[in-house]
Amino acid sequence: MLLYLHLLLFCLIPVDRGDFSPPRFNVSLEVPPEQRWGPVLKHYDAAQLRKIVQRVIDAAPKWLSFIIERFENQLGQILPQPYEAEIQGMAKALNLSLGEGLLINLAYELSSFCTSIVVQDTEGNIYHGRNLDFAFSDALRSLTVDLQFIKNGQIVYTGTTFVGFVGLWTGQRPNKFTISGNARVNRDWWKIAVAVLFQRSLPPSWLIRDTLLEAEDFHTALKKLTYSPITANVYYILGGVRPTEGVIITRSLNGPVDIWPLNPMKEQWYRVETNYDHWNNPPPSDDRRTPAMQALNATGQNNINLHALLKVLTVKPVLNNFTIYTTLMCAAQPYYYRTLVRT
């Protein structure tokens, strides 16, 4: 049955020449955090990985490297677990310092431009799709992975990330909910992140992982994503398994700025979030919202499904030169979780 569904999805979705599915690996939550990334890393050439990572590190502001070097010995006490230990283990495997490991993890936090969409079809099914756009897109395409986090032989949650990065910007708790995160631009991002990290707030992508692990249902996830202190402004897009379970959360560091749920009774059957507050117009130089809405309007609630959502996420400039991957998910049908690396 499962295999059949996978095949069906494969045939239904037209894959452009060049787009490909990233590798999918298991990460065991029962293995100590220092070692749990080993089975993933062994599929990659350490020297090659180090070279890519170095490019990201070189692009980080010098004062940031300086601060991190200065506090290197204290990072172990400052950073929350299990993320500190995971970064520690990964850095060791790649012959990087813990500071360098942290630096790439913070650099990847800056997930520049993204589009996330949550929809409800006429039967009440919830679907969720996202494009992740980022600088260094050529290098990061080869590092994109789908991961299954395993405990007791079960998938606790699934997510998509770049090798070397312990956070998740995209993830699914099977049969419960799906989450994506989009950057909400603020200029002094780096300074705030470092300052806040020292007060033990979580980077937004680490909060996604915590939520996928700990929240048992849509409403618990909504609360956690809305109220937990974080190190950067962000939009969280959350999808559930029941009608009306779809919402865009606009976040500041300490709590919600706005909560914008689906309202299918009023024909508001989709929510689109790019990187701008939904109550303001996007800047004309970067309007991915209008084309996405036009494509959704043209599709109609009658015809929306994961296949149609992929088409919407393939309309230019929703899909653009910086798009690294597209993920499609539906928490009620968790085996549909699928990422395409875009080329």
Ligand X SMILES: *[C@@H]1O[C@H](CO)[C@@H](O)[C@H](O)[C@H]1NC(C)=O
Q: What are the catalytic residues?
A: 114
186 makes contact with ligand X (CB under 6 A): no
297 makes contact with ligand X (CB under 6 A): yes
148 makes contact with ligand X (CB under 6 A): yes
Which of the ranges 126-134, 292-300, 308-316, 328-336 carries the binding residues for ligand X, by CB under 6 A?
292-300
315 makes contact with ligand X (CB under 6 A): no
Q: Which alpha helices (DSSP H) does the chain contain, by range? A: 2-12, 38-41, 46-59, 62-70, 75-78, 83-93, 98-109, 137-141, 189-197, 204-214, 218-227, 289-299, 306-312
Which of 290, 301, 320, 333 binds ligand X (CB under 6 A)? It is 290
120 makes contact with ligand X (CB under 6 A): no
Which of 95, 122, 175, 303 binds ligand X (CB under 6 A)? It is 95
Nearest residue (CB) to ligand X, 149 versus 236: 149
CA distances from 51 to 45, 69, 97, 168, 277 (A): 10, 20, 14, 22, 36
153 makes contact with ligand X (CB under 6 A): yes
CA distances from 97 to 28, 50, 74, 137, 202 (A): 24, 11, 13, 24, 21
Q: How far is the CB of 145 from ligand X (least distance, A)?
A: 12
Instruction: State the amino acid at position 191 in one-letter form.
Output: K
Q: Is residue 159 a contact partner of residue 172, using CB atoms and an 8 Å limit?
A: yes
* SS3 (DSSP) at 313: coil
Closest to 262 in 3D by CA, of 171, 157, 128: 128
Axis-axis angle for helices 83-93, 98-109 (nearest 10):
110
Nearest residue (CB) to ligand X, 80 versus 300: 300
# of chain residues touching ligand X (CB under 6 A) = 10
Hey, what's the torsion of the CAs at 129, 134, 139, 141, to 10 degrees?
A: 10
Nearest residue (CB) to ligand X, 11 versus 265: 265
Which of the ranges 214-222, 249-257, 289-297, 304-312 carries the binding residues for ligand X, by CB under 6 A?
289-297
41 makes contact with ligand X (CB under 6 A): no
294 makes contact with ligand X (CB under 6 A): yes
170 backbone dihedrals φ, ψ, rounded to 5°: -145, 130
Nearest residue (CB) to ligand X, 174 versus 181: 174
26 makes contact with ligand X (CB under 6 A): yes
73 makes contact with ligand X (CB under 6 A): no
Q: What is the CA radius of gyration of the chain?
A: 19
Nearest residue (CB) to ligand X, 18 versus 153: 153
Q: How far is the CB of 28 from ligand X (least distance, A)?
A: 8
Residue 309 and residue 307: Cα distance in Å, rounded? 5
Which of the ranges 76-84, 102-110, 227-235, 291-299 carries the binding residues for ligand X, by CB under 6 A?
291-299
Q: Which residues bind ligand X (CB under 6 A)?
A: 26, 95, 148, 150, 153, 155, 290, 293-294, 297
